[in-house]
């Protein structure tokens, strides 16, 4: 009999635990990045078309759960894992995952869908080789455009696939670009990432040798104005040594859409993060990799999550910043800050670590963990508004809880962010095992949490998360989270959840 997930507390409760001042003293020199062993990020599976459920509106304490519906599922996608990704515009929701692109109205009404291959082909950037995979998408309110990216032909010479919409309506025409990932075809790009600010767009990827050789990182910088006009200036940075950038360097999404430098953030090794920067102009960019090392508490990759029953544990990934790293200038702060979240091992369980980093000085202002004595969490994503309200979305489960979707909501006061207990968004209803060729029970490989550009108060967030919807079936839950203004929080009154917070000066 399926087990029922443990319910989250109805009233949101917040606490700030004792602060510890930690002096960061990184040793620059013999720093070695941690490089994930190269394996394809997706495995293709056959399937049939499935369905979805409608929206639900509920209130959880002072946070309102608005539209909350199930999007695409494994039979519609045909892939494991889905690489959960989506974005929200003024009137539409776009869900883009491995094998599938779907458009919805904001009440959850399904509009249309197509394969990921068809999406890029229709835009004028048809995939080469096997298929398109590892998609990303952002909506840019400063230009009223959507930007989507992926790569193709896993394991062989491949391309970045990039598409830009013609308007704020994602169901209208898109223009696509196909960009060779490696001029001499000695490496192939995996796990592409997408960042954007006011005047430029940056793609990054992990580059693996096709036959023999070392792993590298690769980047593409594109001027946004030219991209929108159909005449982009494309600057490629190939064979970049990960000793200089870190592996899995995530370009930031600047939520203020300022022009100028655009940073990347990576989990360089167990004790250091690494910031690099694209400087210069949008049409003549340079990649600056000097310094940028940030000393942090030593962390290791999260263990797999023990689910109910005897099936294999659920993959929890590694310590990469797999979801978007966002930049936001919070009202009253001197400098804008970077916000990122990743999976880590806390006490032998899969947990979440988050960071707030000064975007000018690279100083860690805050960092904390979201972990539990029983529950385990994986593949988090984060967004923040200019009031310092923060939402982190993620999946989670334990031996008594099927993999479900959750979020925590944070409020920043006087530079200190405190978070709620996890809010259950969609309960998993069965166990799951679909192994890849390496024997892993894959999940993720990332998720998405975004601000709603149609809300001028910035108090509406959306999160796209994966859960188990049937025996050996995953689905994507798309959830609207509204934070009333002003936001009021009760004090923490129950134990169980551990929210450890360190304030760094």
Cα–Cα distance for residue pair 112/318, rounded to 1 Å: 34
Cα–Cα distance for residue pair 268/248, rounded to 1 Å: 9
| pLDDT for the residue numbered 10 | 26
Residues in a beta bridge with 236: 220
pLDDT average, residue stretch 345-349? 98
Cα–Cα distance for residue pair 320/285, rounded to 1 Å: 25
Cα–Cα distance for residue pair 308/64, rounded to 1 Å: 30
| pLDDT for the residue numbered 61 | 57
Cα–Cα distance for residue pair 441/453, rounded to 1 Å: 36
Looking at the predicted structure, is the pLDDT value of residue 331 above 50?
yes
* pLDDT range class, residue 398, cuts 50, 70, 90: very high
The position carrying tokens 């835009």 is 123
Residue 299's nearest CA partner among 333, 326, 272, 337 is 272
The percentage of the chain sitting over the pLDDT mark of 70, rounded to a whole number, equals 84
Cα–Cα distance for residue pair 444/378, rounded to 1 Å: 8
Measured from the Cβ of residue 310, the count of other Cβ atoms closer than 10 Å reads 7
Q: Collapsing DSSP states into helix, strand and coil, what is residue 24? A: coil
Looking at the predicted structure, is the pLDDT value of residue 42 above 50?
no
Looking at the predicted structure, is the pLDDT value of residue 69 above 60?
yes
Looking at the predicted structure, is the pLDDT value of residue 39 above 50?
no
* pLDDT range class, residue 2, cuts 50, 70, 90: very low
Mean of per-residue pLDDT scores for the chain: 87
When comparing pLDDT for 35 and 147, which is higher?
147
Looking at the predicted structure, is the pLDDT value of residue 13 above 70?
no
Looking at the predicted structure, is the pLDDT value of residue 11 above 60?
no
Half-sphere exposure of 494 (CA within 13 A, CB side): 12
Measured from the Cβ of residue 5, the count of other Cβ atoms closer than 10 Å reads 23
DSSP per residue over 470-505, as a string? ETTEEEEEEEEEE--SS---EEP---SEEEEEEE--
When comparing pLDDT for 315 and 29, which is higher?
315
pLDDT average, residue stretch 354-368? 98
Cα–Cα distance for residue pair 439/442, rounded to 1 Å: 9
Cα–Cα distance for residue pair 224/282, rounded to 1 Å: 8
* pLDDT range class, residue 496, cuts 50, 70, 90: very low
Looking at the predicted structure, is the pLDDT value of residue 14 above 70?
no
Strand blocks (E) in 89-215: 92-97, 100-105, 110-114, 132-140, 145-152, 159-165, 174-180, 187-196, 200-209
When comparing pLDDT for 63 and 465, which is higher?
465
Residue 35's nearest CA partner among 230, 224, 245, 180 is 245
DSSP per residue over 118-137, as a string? HHHHHHT----SS-EEEEEE
Cα–Cα distance for residue pair 340/267, rounded to 1 Å: 10
Cα–Cα distance for residue pair 64/164, rounded to 1 Å: 32
| pLDDT for the residue numbered 480 | 98
| pLDDT for the residue numbered 462 | 99
pLDDT average, residue stretch 334-349? 98
* pLDDT range class, residue 237, cuts 50, 70, 90: very high
* pLDDT range class, residue 112, cuts 50, 70, 90: very high
| pLDDT for the residue numbered 62 | 79
Cα–Cα distance for residue pair 139/274, rounded to 1 Å: 26
Which pTM was predicted?
0.88
Looking at the predicted structure, is the pLDDT value of residue 250 above 70?
yes
Least confident residue range of 227-236, 294-303, 478-487: 478-487
| pLDDT for the residue numbered 21 | 24
Distance (Å) of CA 23 to CA 26, 116, 361, 394? 10, 47, 15, 30
Q: Which run of H or of E encompasses 356? A: strand 349-358
Looking at the predicted structure, is the pLDDT value of residue 335 above 80?
yes
The position carrying tokens 């979440």 is 352
| pLDDT for the residue numbered 298 | 98
Residues in a beta bridge with 62: none
- Which domains does the chain possess? 1-24+43-68+296-505 (no CATH), 81-245 (2.120.10.10)
Looking at the predicted structure, is the pLDDT value of residue 141 above 70?
yes
Residue 464's nearest CA partner among 144, 162, 140, 67 is 67
8-state DSSP, 242: H
| pLDDT for the residue numbered 1 | 33
Tokens of 151: 């790569």
């Amino acid at each position: 009999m399926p087990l029922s997930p443990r319910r989250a507390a109805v009233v949101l409760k917040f606490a700030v635990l004792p602060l510890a001042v930690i002096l960061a003293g990184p040793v620059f020199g013999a720093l070695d990045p941690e490089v994930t062993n190269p394996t394809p990020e997706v495995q293709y599976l056959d399937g049939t078309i499935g369905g979805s459920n409608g929206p639900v509106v509920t209130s959880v304490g002072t946070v309102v759960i608005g539209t909350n519906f199930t999007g695409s599922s494994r039979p519609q996608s045909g892939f494991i894992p889905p690489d959960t990704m989506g974005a929200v515009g003024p009137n539409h929701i776009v869900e883009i995952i491995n094998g599938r692109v779907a458009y919805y109205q904001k009440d959850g009404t399904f509009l249309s869908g197509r394969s990921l291959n068809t999406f890029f082909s229709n835009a004028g950037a048809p995939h080469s080789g096997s298929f398109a995979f590892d998609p990303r998408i952002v909506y840019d309110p400063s230009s009223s455009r959507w930007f989507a990216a992926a790569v193709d032909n896993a394991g062989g010479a491949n391309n970045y696939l990039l598409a830009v919409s013609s308007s704020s309506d994602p169901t209208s025409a898109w223009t696509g670009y196909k960009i060779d990932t490696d001029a001499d075809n000695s490496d192939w790009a995996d796990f592409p990432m997408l960042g954007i600010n006011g005047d430029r767009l940056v793609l990054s990827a992990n580059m693996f040798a096709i036959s023999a050789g070392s792993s590298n990182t690769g980047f593409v910088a594109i001027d946004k104005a030219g991209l929108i006009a159909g005449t982009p200036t494309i600057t490629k940075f190939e064979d970049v040594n990960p000793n200089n950038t870190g592996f899995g360097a995530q370009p930031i999404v600047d939520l203020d859409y300022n022009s100028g430098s655009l940073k990347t953030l990576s989990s360089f090794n167990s004790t250091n993060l690494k910031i690099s920067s694209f400087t210069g102009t949008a049409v003549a960019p340079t990649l600056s990799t000097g310094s940028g090392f940030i000393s942090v508490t030593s962390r290791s990759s999260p263990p797999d999550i023990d689910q109910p029953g005897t099936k294999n544990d659920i993959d929890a990934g590694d310590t990469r910043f797999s979801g978007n790293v966002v930049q936001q200038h919070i009202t009253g702060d001197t400098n804008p800050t970077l916000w990122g979240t990743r999976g880590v091992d806390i006490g032998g369980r899969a947990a979440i670590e988050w960071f707030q980093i000064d975007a000018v000085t690279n100083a860690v202002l805050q960092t904390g963990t979201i972990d539990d004595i029983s529950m385990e969490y994986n593949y988090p994503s984060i967004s923040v508004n200019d009031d310092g309200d923060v939402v982190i979305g993620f999946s989670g489960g334990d031996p008594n809880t099927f993999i479900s979707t959750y979020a925590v909501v944070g409020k920043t006061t006087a530079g200190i962010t405190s978070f709620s207990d996890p809010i259950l968004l969609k309960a998993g209803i069965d166990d799951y095992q679909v192994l890849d060729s390496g024997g892993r029970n894959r999940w993720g490989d990332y998720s998405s949490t975004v601000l709603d550009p149609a809300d001028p108060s910035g108090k509406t967030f959306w999160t796209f998360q994966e859960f188990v919807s049937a025996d050996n079936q995953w689905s994507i839950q798309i959830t609207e989270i509204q934070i009333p203004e002003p936001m009021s929080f009760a004090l923490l009154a129950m134990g169980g959840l551990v929210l450890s917070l360190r304030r760094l000066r």
